Amino acid sequence: MEKERLFGKTLDELKAVAAQVGLPKFAAKQMADWLYKKDIRSIDEMTNLSVKGREALKEHFEFGLSAPTKVQASIDGTKKYLFPTDHAKFIETAMIPENDRKTVCVSSQVGCKMGCLFCMTGKQGFQGHLTAGEIVNQIRSIEENGEVSNIVYMGMGEPFDNLDNVLKSVEILTSDWGYAMSPKRITVSTIGILPGMKKFLETSTAHLAVSLHSPFDEERKQLMPIQTAYPIQKVLDEIKSWEFGRQRRVSFEYIMFGGLNDTPAHAKELARILNGIKCRINLIRFHPIPDTPLKSSDEETLQSFKDLLNSKGILTTIRASRGQDIYAACGLLSTKALVKKEEEPDY
Ligand code: SF4
């Protein structure tokens, strides 16, 4: 019988585990300490639980960490980790060092069903949700564990399409009994799944990032089919009803596609629709992926787009490209691993 994983359980769930195996109630907090605050990898090492209790635990549960199968390091210090998931699929995690910060970009799903035109993960299709444990494991099982300063949910998958597990992982990362990280160090990114975004804004105080990519409905629909179900204007209306500022930030991601969404008319319309929201726009260089007609904006256009937005009072920055020599576009490495796996004969 497959054992359940302890890693990824909340304090309440650990209380239920303690009751199930006959451990005292306070053992839940002890287990949380071992899981999220100490550097151990097995139930046997939970030495303040009784030997009998540990044996009872091991009958039904395992510790539940999983190591990356591959790591690639870029010349700029960025690393990309490849983690196996159930059913021989793969997810990617990026670690991006910058000055004294180490930011980890975690995946929330295996593949993705949202079908954004510019995204390699979208081309894989949806292959499954990650559990809260599999999300937090991407921080715990990398070499930089213990040095991570910031976490962004911008890897594979749409976080609000896997809302419960994402919220649970944020709870583990920010609770006193868990990693006790400040929510100000966590950013969850969405393409604008409205119900999930509302629930996230209600239940967490972590930062929000929204992928915008075009201020024009029809064009955005071509790039991001989600525009049909949740038009960006509705997403912005919801955002306007929340308080953002120093404590909690909202930012907008905008990939610059040459000759498509990088004209002055786009910048002016962006400034118009974002009017009244205290926010920042991150402009992102597009790095072409296979089988897409999209191309990158040139540097001059990128710069003047940024200047135009800044002149309209919207703080706009151009995100530095990192790890280009190691398949930095999200989904490329795992797609490669998946294709390789599928090419291998089944014995
Ligand atoms: S950009 Fe995000 S939501 Fe869109 S297909 Fe890629 S992973 Fe999914």
Q: Is 158 in the pocket of ligand 1 (CB under 6 A)?
A: yes
Assigned token pair, 78? 């960025």
Q: Is 114 in the pocket of ligand 1 (CB under 6 A)?
A: yes
In the chain, % of residues over pLDDT 70: 93
What's the confidence (pLDDT) of residue 342?
A: 41
Cα 330 to ligand 1 centre (Å): 9
Structure confidence by residue, pLDDT tens digits, 216-251: 999 999 999 999 999 999 999 999 999 988 789 999
The strand ranges marked E within 164-278 are 186-190, 207-211, 250-256
Structure confidence by residue, pLDDT tens digits, 46-95: 999 999 999 999 999 999 999 999 999 999 999 999 999 876 788 999 99
Structure confidence by residue, pLDDT tens digits, 243-283: 988 789 999 999 999 999 999 999 999 999 999 999 999 99
Quote the CA–CA distance of 302 and 263 in Å, as a whole number.
10
Name residue, tokens 């990158």: 296
Contact 318, 107 (CB under 8 A): no
Q: Which atom of ligand 1 is found nearest the CA of 161?
A: 3
Quote the CA–CA distance of 61 and 311 in Å, as a whole number.
57
Cα 233 to ligand 1 centre (Å): 19
Q: Is residue 330 among the annotated active site residues? A: yes
What is the layout of strands, in order, in the sheet containing 186-190?
70-73, 79-85, 89-98, 101-105, 150-153, 186-190, 207-211, 250-256, 279-285, 315-318
Structure confidence by residue, pLDDT tens digits, 92-131: 999 999 999 999 999 999 999 999 999 988 888 999 999 9
Structure confidence by residue, pLDDT tens digits, 197-220: 999 999 999 999 999 999 999 999
Length of the chain: 347
Structure confidence by residue, pLDDT tens digits, 327-345: 555 555 555 555 454 443 3
